[in-house]
């Protein structure tokens, strides 16, 4: 049973998540021969202020 965890800074809309889940599920079926009903996709959305890159927070506020 594939479990795919997507970590992202910020948020995605419900429609974006739906499309990503559908496309990843299709890819797992096509490439890894996994049945759709066994593919699990999880989103971890973290506010941009909780991510730092190169000494700066991603929210751009300092």
Domain-by-domain residue ranges, the chain? Answer: 3-49
Per-residue pLDDT at 35? 97
pLDDT of amino acid 62:
64
d(CA 61, CA 43): 25
Per-residue pLDDT tens digits of the chain, which is 62 residues long: 999 999 999 999 999 999 999 999 999 999 999 999 999 999 999 999 999 989 999 988 86
Tell me, what's the pLDDT at 29?
97
Architecture of domain 3-49: 2-Layer Sandwich (3.30)
Burial class of residue 25 in the structure, from the number of CB atoms within 10 Å of its CB (0-12 exposed, 13-18 middle, 19+ buried): buried
Q: What local confidence, expressed as pLDDT, does residue 10 receive?
A: 94
pLDDT confidence of residue 41: 98
- Residues taking part in catalysis: 2
């Amino acid at each position: 049973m594939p479990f795919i965890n997507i970590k992202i800074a910020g948020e995605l809309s419900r429609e974006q998540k739906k499309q990503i889940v559908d496309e990843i599920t299709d890819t797992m079926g096509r490439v890894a021969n996994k049945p759709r009903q066994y593919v699990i996709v999880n989103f971890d959305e973290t506010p941009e202020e909780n991510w730092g890159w190169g000494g700066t927070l991603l929210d751009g506020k300092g």
